[in-house]
Structure 1
Amino acid sequence: MAKTKTTAKSKRDAKPVKRTAKKPVQPAAHAAAAGSRPLRVGLIGAGWISTVHYDALKAIGGCEVVAQADIDPDRLKAFGESRPVRDYYPSHHELLKRKDIDVVTVAVPNRLHAPLTLDVLKAGKHVIVEKPLCLTIAEAEEIVDLSRRKGLVVGYGEELCYVPKFVRMKQIADSGALGDVYMVKQTEKHSGPYSPWFWTREGAGGGILMDMGCHAIEFCRWFMGKKPIKSVWAHCAKYLHTWAEVEDHVILTFEFADGALAHVESSWALQGGMASRAEAYGTKGVIYGDLLQGMGLACFTPDGYPEMPGNRALVGGPAACGWTVPDYEWLWNNGYPQEMRDFLDCIRTGGTPIESAQDGLEVLEIMLAAYHSAGTGKRVALPFRPNLSIPVDLWLSPRQDL
């Protein structure tokens, strides 16, 4: 692959490189434009989660990944060696000039979510953006407002709500088999991410809460029917990665308006693998769901093993060492193809995905309240929509005036 500059400053630079190997527009108009032909997808970002998006899109069919943008040519080259894309660009602006692209995925560091998502919407394209939606309430409101005015679908990247095991849990609870569900719990833990930007307050906006706590928060909201939330209490800490700028452990509880509770524990401080578990307690019964147990294997090896197609035991690592639970259907068991299928179906029909920009906004509000609670030691009532640029600062530099 030829070396490419990170910015396109000439017409020659703007060309894609071929790889071998005021009136609102209604969603229906965009759906009709797509018709029954395969939807054409562009990827922004060439990191690990973009490989998941690519694999999920390939798994469901009905679409074609036609272009990719990333400022790092080496990342693009590495991505293309295992997952070929026809055209690539050093700038997302050049990708967005393509008239033939219907849908764009945004998989970049957290601080870039809002500007890139807004650029995609301004270009008239549907978008799915990885969690968290963005870092500020103002950004989230702008994304929601612009998508509605332009009649475009925004998918919020929250795959836990598509996990088959958890979907079945919710079906059982919704049937009344557990009675009135008064508490739901979700726990997700591992020893921390590999990309350096995750550990920075400016790059990520926060630590484990912004990375995995958002999963658990939205799982609990979704499981309980997305009913109104009254208040949030949280505790943040740095237990294992004391050198980091952000927290590596969070516990939070939020109370729904009807008195039911949600309990979240998310951690980058777990030694010895990964854990992901959900529980729901009702007046007549209880149900537990472990994402890793019951669908995987049990394996110990000091030397580890390489990633295999559709099977990654630990996120981000070149090999999985020690005790692991290698999953033989990782992609589907984690809900990624189902998430993409829901999103693309909504583009074709003009519908709203299970996880939308509005959900991302509400999750962000809960995370902001959690950081404020952790900083002040107080329970925080909703609504809570402070004006600040970096969420974790509410914990690092507590403010009593909010």
Structure 2
Amino acid sequence: MTQTPVLGVAVIGAGYWGPNLARNFAASPDWNLVAICDLDEARARSLAGRVGGVDVVGSVDELLTRPDVDAVAIATPARTHYPLAMEALRAGKHVVVEKPIADSVAAAQEMVDEASSRGLVLMTDHTFCYTPAVVKIRELITSGELGDILFVDSVRINLGLVQPDVDVFWDLAPHDLSILDFVLPGGLAVESVAAHGADPIGAGKACVGHLVLPLAGGALASVHVNWLSPTKVRTITIGGSRKTLIWDDLNPIQRLTVFDRGVSLENASAEMLGRAEQSAAKVSYRLGDTWSPALPEREALGAMVAELAAAIREKRAPLTDGEAGLRVLSVLERASGVLEGSKA
């Protein structure tokens, strides 16, 4: 039996997210973590020591000349994602980049095109998409268990740090948007974006916000983000024509709950009834069982790095590819445009 060769990877950025990536690459049987690259050499050496004493490289140019580096993981500020990713792709390296994929749709599109033209994998690290709960949500929707999607309500609020360079939409909403893109059939194929933001504390940027996204078939998704809430809430409710599910990410015992409950109009088919009769039809309520799917225990980033390796070996797009990152970024950029327009 032929043994699958281990791939070499380097992590660029040893700050907040880089250590998590490095730890998972180092623990993966698919990968050989060969180097850490960061402008802060002391920080890079500290991380390298914690993951097996791998090499420390101070220059990206030097790193990309190494033949033992098949892929790079970029965990640096969003404004640097585009130049670093493009340099890596042009050097023939596969790339996984922390969310958001770039700081503009135009930059992200160039990254996607560059990877495609070179036959390289460009992956967006939408970590939540690799959690057991979100994978199960995708399965339930794909199998038709929920029926047609009618609405999505997402809430991500907490008493969080007001970021110096982005508003609450760019800080928190990418998590929820990436999840919706992953679980909804066809991804985030939205034609319009409504955005409402407020800055009640005078921070100079939106600290509380709502996004409203019309979905296919007349469904509606809403995303509520907030830095000012004294309580932390992480929930997504997805209502279907057959069943509804609630994901509570802060509930360690029962993260997913599926409700066999819903609303229907008795004998109110548009093909069978006229407008007046349809309006007068009786509403019926379905009250069935509630159940909680069993979920495996595994770290999402471990599944993400395994998916990256599989995509490279199988010469296919990863589950959260550059196009997924582009769709999420498109919603964020359009929301920013709406907010800027409302100030004019």
Which TM-score band applies after superposition, normalised by the shorter structure? 0.7 to 0.9
* Counterpart-to-counterpart distance in 2, 1:330 and 1:120: 35
Residues 117 and 366 of structure 1: CA distance in aligned 2, closer, same or farther (over 3 Å): same
- The answer as to whether partners of 2:124 and 2:321 remain within 8 angstroms in 1 is yes
| Equivalent residue for 1:279, pick from 229, 233, 237 | 237
Amino acid corresponding to residue 206 of structure 2 in structure 1: E
The secondary structure found in structure 2 opposite 1:48 is: coil
Of the candidates 157, 165, 179, which is equivalent to residue 219 of structure 1? 179
TM superposition shift of 1:186 = 2.5
Q: Superposition pairs for residues 160-309 of structure 1, below 5 Å?
A: 160-193=128-161, 199-201=163-165, 206-227=166-187, 228-239=189-200, 242-243=202-203, 245-272=204-231, 274-295=232-253
Could you tell me how far 1:66 is from its partner in structure 2?
A: 0.5
Which residue of the other structure, out of 21, 32, 50, is the alignment partner of 1:82?
Answer: 50
Cα offsets for 1:317-367 (capped at 9, x unmatched): xxxxxxxxxxxx99935x211111111100011011111111111111111
Measured after TM superposition, the shift of residue 97 of structure 1 is 1.4
* 1:376 alignment counterpart: 341
Conservation of the 8 A alpha-carbon contact between 2:99 and 2:174: yes
Cα distance change on mapping 1:103 and 1:331 into 2, 3 Å: farther
Match of 1:138 among 98, 106, 119: 106
Deviating more after overlay: 129-138 vs 83-92: 83-92
| Residue identity opposite 1:149 in structure 2 | S
The answer to which structure has the higher strand fraction is 2
**Partner residue in 2 for 1:155:** 123
The alignment status of 1:363 with 2:328, answered yes or no, reads: yes
Q: Secondary structure at the match of 1:229?
A: coil
Structure 1 residue 81, shift from structure 2 partner:
4.2
2:230 counterpart letter in structure 1: Q
1:137, distance to aligned residue in structure 2 (A): 2.0
Provide, for residues 107-154 of structure 1, a one-character-per-residue CA deviation record: whole Å limited to 9, x for no partner.
001110111111110111001000001112221111011101111001
Aligned counterparts of 2:48 and 2:310: Cα–Cα separation in 1: 27
TM-score by length of 1: 0.70
Q: Is the 8 A contact 1:179 1:284 kept in 2?
A: yes
Q: In the TM superposition, what whole-angstrom CA distance separates every residue of 1:351-400 from its partner, at most 9, and x where no partner exists?
A: 111111111111111111111223334xxxxxxxxxxxxxxxxxxxx46x
Q: CA RMSD in A?
A: 2.4
Aligned to 2:288: none
Structure 1 runs of 4+ aligned residues shifted over 6 Å read: none
Following the alignment from structure 2 to structure 1, what is the Cα–Cα distance between the partners of residues 253 and 312?
32
Alignment check: 8 A CA contact 1:65 1:85 kept: no
SS in 2 for 1:199: coil
Whichever residue aligns with residue 58 of structure 2, its letter is P
Q: Please tell me whether the aligned partners of residues 37 and 57 of structure 2 are also in contact (alpha carbons under 8 angstroms).
A: yes
Match of 1:122 among 58, 72, 90: 90
Give the SS at the match of 2:97. Answer: strand
Amino acid at match of 2:172: M
Q: Is the 8 A contact 1:103 1:127 kept in 2?
A: yes
Amino acid at match of 2:45: K
Q: 1:226 to 1:186 in 2, by over 3 A?
A: farther
How far does residue 235 in structure 1 lie from its aligned partner after superposition? 1.2
Cα distance, 1:192–1:358 mapped onto 2, change above 3 Å? same
**SS of alignment partner, residue 258 of structure 1:** helix
The share of aligned pairs that are identical, in percent, is 27
Per the TM alignment, residue 295 of structure 1 is displaced from its structure 2 partner at its CA by 4.4
- Mapped to 2, the partners of 1:104 and 1:85 lie a distance apart of 18
Deviation at 1:176, TM superposition (A): 2.3
| Corresponding residue for residue 102 of structure 1 | 70
Contact residue 46 and residue 69 of structure 1 kept, 8 A: yes
Separation (CA, whole Å) in 1 of partners of 2:248 and 2:70: 36
Structure 1 residues 165-174 or 136-145, which shifts more?
165-174
Partner of 2:309, secondary structure, is: helix
Question: Taking structure 2 as the reference length, what is the TM-score of the superposition?
Answer: 0.81
Letter in 2 for 1:249: V
